[in-house]
């Protein structure tokens, strides 16, 4: 099996959105498949009818595609091992459950929820180490079973776990793991509604779909003995397991909605780049063994290996994500940024404004080093899109001296006299006025910036003037001189 080209799968249950932990699991599966020329399968684990969510599968696929995790087989794209929705494979599970019953590895259970409940309560009262099903229905006679079946009494199928065994298996990340079979419950395999539980379905499907490596979250480690028992009962070869460490909240509990955003859609909507999210999540629990921190998907593919995945959970730290987002943003070409900015403008209050590509490109070039998110090309520098309506109070106090208005008027006149000024022309104009007035350039620049942008921070002064253009600069200086008073 190891020599075959690997086939891996991401098997989420459709809860309505893609969890970032799920994104990381999917990513590691994808990277492993691509790295080894293998196949990445998407399988939807929708065997819980109570949890059915409208449109969930579509959302999941959309999020996966957005992140660039394109699967080779699965819903919508098809493949030779379908169907890829477990709800469409019910007859298959039934067949294999029957095979298990025949072999004595599983059995019908007719116990009512009430009996199960009181059994559990009784066991808890006796302070038994663990609450387990008591195999009551394993002792039913053939006649009793036949009668119950014929009478249509509600039933489930349970795994018949042999006692006093040690269940052993290997895991790429955890190495060797052992469980005592006495601690393993006779898990329900087929529910009373005829749907399989995860345990049966995932084993049957992984085998039928020829999955070679099961790469999933650590929350599955405890139920792996059940899966191992099933492989053995069927006489099937076990896949290679790799249980990934969990993603954590800042308080080290399992990453959850309560403590922030968990859906990849949330991050997408907040303006995170898919490259940054992928880069970040890849590094949560894995590294190549060197100091490299900036990766594109292709780089990840070429150096990923399961052997280098960590054992311990990792806190999802927004600060580092933000930094990576800025890094990835700066690596984008101006034309890519232009397209992103244009669609961002459509979502902003400036959507009705008429801005040329040339103008927006100038904004991008001047602001690129100063932003972490696309939307900051708008809201950290609204002065590019509209004249300032108010002026930063602190900056007024610091730089707006009594003789400033007169000086700025002089500068304004100088600028007004320029013909089609370049950035350098503005610079010369300011130098000239500062000399005539005998004041330092800095004494002029700061109030000028305030007058023209309303702020004390931003791109280089002369870039700013050039981008705004002569007429706008003149207008803004006049407006500022009128409205700013100390």
Could you say which of 412, 449, 470, 476 contacts RNA (CB under 7 A)? 449
Q: Which residue stretch of 54-62, 135-143, 217-225, 229-237 sits at the interface with RNA (rule: CB under 7 A)?
A: 217-225
Shortest spacing between CB 291 and RNA, in angstroms: 4
- Contacting RNA within 405-444 (CB under 7 A): 441-442
Site for RNA contains 56 (CB under 7 A): no
User: Counting contacts by CB under 7 A, is residue 445 touching RNA?
Assistant: yes
Span from 30-38, 346-354, 459-467, 478-486 in contact with RNA (CB under 7 A): 459-467
Question: Is the separation of the CB atoms in 422 and 464 below 8 Å?
Answer: no
| Using rule CB under 7 A, residue 154 touches RNA | yes
**Is residue 92 a contact point for RNA (CB under 7 A)?**
no
Q: Is 221 in the site for RNA (CB under 7 A)?
A: yes
Place of tokens 């063994």: 289
**b (16+ CB within 10 A) / e for 163-201:** eeeebebebbbbeebebeeeebebbbbbbeeebbbbbbb
Q: Is 152 in the site for RNA (CB under 7 A)?
A: no
Q: Which range in 90-98, 143-151, 454-462, 474-482 contacts RNA by CB under 7 A? A: 454-462
- Is the CB of 297 or the CB of 324 nearer to RNA? 324
Q: Residues 121, 180, 237, 406: which binds RNA (CB under 7 A)? A: 180
Q: Which is nearer to RNA, 178 or 397 (CB)?
A: 178
Which CB sits closer to RNA, 235 or 400?
400
Which of 257, 311, 398, 401 is flagged as catalytic? 257
Which of 8, 27, 31, 188 touches RNA (CB under 7 A)? 188
For the bound state, the minimum distance from the C-beta of residue 249 to RNA, rounded and expressed in Å, comes to: 9
Q: Is 220 in the site for RNA (CB under 7 A)?
A: yes
CB of 78 to RNA, least distance (A): 21
3-state secondary structure the chain: CCCCCCEEEECCCCCCCCEHHHHHHHHHHHHHHHHCCCEEEECECCCCHHHCCCCHHHHHHHHHHHCCCCCCEECCCECCCCCCEHHHCHHHHHHHHHHHHHCCCEEEECCCHHHHHHHHHHHHHCCCCCCCCCCHHHHCCHHHHHHHHHCCCCCEEEECCCCCCEEEEEECCCEEEEEEHHHCCCCEEECCCCCECHHHHHHHHHHHCCCCEEEEEHHHHHHHHHHHHHHHHHCCCCCEEEEECCEECCCCCECCHHHCCCEHHHHHHCCCCHHHHHHHHHCCCECCCCCCCCCCHHHHHHHCCHHHECCCCEECCHHHHHHHHHHHHHHCCHHHHHHHHHHHHHCCCCCCCCCCHHHHHHHHHHHHHHCCCCCHHHHCCHHHCCCCCCCCHHHHHHHCCCCHHHHHHHHHHHHHCCCCCCHHHHHHHHHHHHHHHCCCHHHHHHHHHHHHHCCCCCCCHHHHHHHHCHHHHHHHHHHHHHHCCC
Closest contact distance (angstroms) between CB of 48 and RNA is 3
Asked if residue 397 binds RNA (CB under 7 A), the reply is no
Please name the residues in contact with 407: beta carbons below 8 A apart, sequence gap of 6 or more: 433, 437, 439, 443, 444, 447
Shortest approach of RNA to residue 183 CB, angstroms?
5
Looking only at the bridges linking them, the beta strands covering 156-159 and 188-190 are antiparallel
For residues 240 and 211, the answer to whether their CB atoms sit within 8 Å is no
| Binding window for RNA (CB under 7 A); candidates: 46-54, 134-142, 232-240, 346-354 | 46-54
* Sole window of 88-96, 219-227, 258-266, 400-408 interacting with RNA (rule: CB under 7 A): 219-227
Which among 97-105, 174-182, 230-238, 386-394 is the span making contact with RNA, rule CB under 7 A?
Answer: 174-182
Whether 135 is catalytic is: no
Which position among 35, 45, 165, 379 is part of the footprint of RNA (CB under 7 A)?
A: 45
Q: In whole angstroms, how close is the CB of 39 to RNA at the nearest point?
A: 20
Number of residues that bind RNA (CB under 7 A): 87
Residues 349-388 binding RNA (CB under 7 A) are 369-370
Q: Please, which of residues 279-338 interact with RNA by CB under 7 A?
A: 283-285, 287, 289, 291, 293, 308, 310-315, 317, 319-320, 322-323, 326, 330
Structure tokens at 55: 């449109």
User: What residues numbered 241-260 form the site for RNA, per CB under 7 A?
Assistant: 245-246, 248, 251-254
Chosen residue from 118, 147, 222, 422 binding RNA by CB under 7 A: 222
Q: Shortest gap between Cβ of 55 and RNA (angstroms)?
A: 17
Q: What is the dihedral of CA 405, 408, 409, 415, to 10 degrees?
A: -170
Q: Is 166 in the site for RNA (CB under 7 A)?
A: no
Considering only residues 96 to 135 of the shown chain, the ones binding RNA according to CB under 7 A are 111-113, 116, 120, 127, 129-131, 133
Among 134, 410, 456, 475, binds RNA (CB under 7 A): 456
Is the CB of 117 or the CB of 347 nearer to RNA?
117
Q: Which of 1, 51, 162, 260 binds RNA (CB under 7 A)?
A: 51
Structure tokens at 218: 């650590």
Active site residues: 257
């Amino acid at each position: 099996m190891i020599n075959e080209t690997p086939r891996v799968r991401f098997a989420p249950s459709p809860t309505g959105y893609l969890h970032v932990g799920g994104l990381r699991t999917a990513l590691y599966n994808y990277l492993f498949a691509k790295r080894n020329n293998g196949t990445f399968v998407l399988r939807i684990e929708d065997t819980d009818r109570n949890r059915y969510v409208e449109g969930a599968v579509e959302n999941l696929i959309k999020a996966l595609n957005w992140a660039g995790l394109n699967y080779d087989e699965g819903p919508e794209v098809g493949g030779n091992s379908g169907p890829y929705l477990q709800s469409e494979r019910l007859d298959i599970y039934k067949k294999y459950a029957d095979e298990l019953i025949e072999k004595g590895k599983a059995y019908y259970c007719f116990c009512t929820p009430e009996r199960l409940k009181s059994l559990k309560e009784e066991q808890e009262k006796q302070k038994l180490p663990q609450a387990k099903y008591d195999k009551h229905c394993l002792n039913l006679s053939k006649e009793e079973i036949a009668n119950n079946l014929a009478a249509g009494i509600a039933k489930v199928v349970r795994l018949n776990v042999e006692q006093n065994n040690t269940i052993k298996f290997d895991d790429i990340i955890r190495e060797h793991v052992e469980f005592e079979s006495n601690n393993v419950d006779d898990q329900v395999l087929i529910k009373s509604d005829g749907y399989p539980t995860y345990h049966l379905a995932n084993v049957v499907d992984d085998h039928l779909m020829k999955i070679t490596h099961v790469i999933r979250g650590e929350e599955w480690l405890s139920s792996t003995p059940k899966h191992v028992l099933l492989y053995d009962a069927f006489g099937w070869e076990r896949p290679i397991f790799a249980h990934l460490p969990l993603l954590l909240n800042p308080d080290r509990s399992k990453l959850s909605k309560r403590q922030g955003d968990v859906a990849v859609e949330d991050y997408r909507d907040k303006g995170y780049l898919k490259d940054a999210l992928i880069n970040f999540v890849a590094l949560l629990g894995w590294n190549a063994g060197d100091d490299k921190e900036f990766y594109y998907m292709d780089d990840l593919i070429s150096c990923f290996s399961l052997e280098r995945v960590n054992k311990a959970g990792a806190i999802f730290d927004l600060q580092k994500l933000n930094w990576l987002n800025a890094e990835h943003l700066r690596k984008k070409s101006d034309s890519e940024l232009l397209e992103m900015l244009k669609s961002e403008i459509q979502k902003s209050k400036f959507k009705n404004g008429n801005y040329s590509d040339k103008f927006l490109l100038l904004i991008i070039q001047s602001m690129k080093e100063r932003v972490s998110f696309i939307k900051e090309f708008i809201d950290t520098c609204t002065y590019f899109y509209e004249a300032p309506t108010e002026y930063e109070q602190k900056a007024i106090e610091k730089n707006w001296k009594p003789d400033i208005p007169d000086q700025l008027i002089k500068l304004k006149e100088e600028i007004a006299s320029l013909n089609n000024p370049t950035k350098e022309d503005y610079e010369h104009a300011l130098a000239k006025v500062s000399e005539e007035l005998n004041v330092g350039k800095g004494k002029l620049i700061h109030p000028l910036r305030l007058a023209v942008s309303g702020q004390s921070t931003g791109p280089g002064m002369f870039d700013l003037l050039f981008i705004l253009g002569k007429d706008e600069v003149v207008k803004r200086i006049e407006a500022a001189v009128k409205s700013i008073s100390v």
